Amino acid sequence: MINVQSISVSFGGLQALRNVDAVIKDPVVGIIGPNGAGKTTLLNVFSGFAQPEAGQLQAFGTNLLEMAPHERARWGLRRSFQTEQVVDDLSVADNVLVMLDPLPLSRAQKERCTADALAFVGLEGKADIAPQTLNTFERRMVELAKTLAGKPKLVLLDEPGAGLGEPEVAQLERIIKDIPRRFSAMTILIDHDVELIVATCASTLVLDFGMLIAHGPTA
């Protein structure tokens, strides 16, 4: 369970989040709202890239706000970004493997976690190739594999469906829905594709002008 209590974030004179309160329990939870509503800012609070001036944030009994970003990653927080973070100078496997550097795992364990994550997203046969040869969907799957390697507790996905066609979004939907079963990780999903949110998220938060205006069953 994740408990968000009175989270507020300001950037100069702009209040990006205003007293956001939510108890998040479902395996896959959506966040929707127009551009500038505060969706990514909320994920940045989870990640440690934005510091709230007020509020508390606890995930599974752990106070995330007391931890630096790298400590949250070691704890089990993973995220993807709106801007793609695939490194073309590394192989597909090494893009995932580097995410495991902070974790106390042996080389063999890290390689096994990497192989499992790539197989889950359908890239098991492309581990050793250069990312430049991948299409847009496959590069998105590299991003997703990076968030799933190493037994994550909380996976944050920021618009993973952006730029994808309908068949690719359908495949992404199946993968996201299977994350809790396969990795025992809670997933929080931001996307402007409301059909993807409806298909994958049991509950959804709606933000507008930094305020939580609705939270409940997605339907």
Residue 168 to residue 166: CA distance in whole angstroms: 5
- Could you tell me the CA-to-CA distances from 58 to 3, 4, 21 in Å, in that order? 5, 7, 12
| pLDDT tens column, 53-66 | 999 999 999 999 99
- Residue holding tokens 């190739």? 129
Q: Look up the pTM and report it.
A: 0.94
DSSP state, residue 15 = E
What value does the mean pLDDT take over residues 163-184?
95
Q: Residue 147's pLDDT is what?
A: 96
Q: Residue 103's pLDDT is what?
A: 87
What value does the mean pLDDT take over residues 176-180?
97
| pLDDT tens column, 82-116 | 888 899 999 999 999 999 988 888 999 999 999 99
Cβ atoms of 47 and 76 within 8 Å: the answer is no
Cβ atoms of 212 and 20 within 8 Å: the answer is yes
CB atoms inside a 10 Å sphere around CB 193: 20
CB atoms inside a 10 Å sphere around CB 157: 26
How many helices (H) and strands (E) the chain has is answered by 7, 10
Mark residue 55 as left, alpha or beta (left: phi above 0; alpha: psi -120 to 50; beta: remaining): left
Is 101 exposed, middle or buried (CB count within 10 Å of its CB: 0-12, 13-18, 19+)?
A: exposed
Residue 135 to residue 84: CA distance in whole angstroms: 13
Q: How confident is the model at residue 168 (pLDDT cuts 50, 70, 90)?
A: very high
Maximum pairwise Cα distance, the chain = 50
Q: Please check the confidence at residue 187 and state whether its pLDDT lies above 90.
A: yes
Residue 89 to residue 87: CA distance in whole angstroms: 6
Q: Residue 54's pLDDT is what?
A: 92
Query: In what helix (H) or strand (E) does residue 113 lie, and over which residues does it extend?
Result: helix 107-120
Q: Please check the confidence at residue 178 and state whether its pLDDT lies above 90.
A: yes
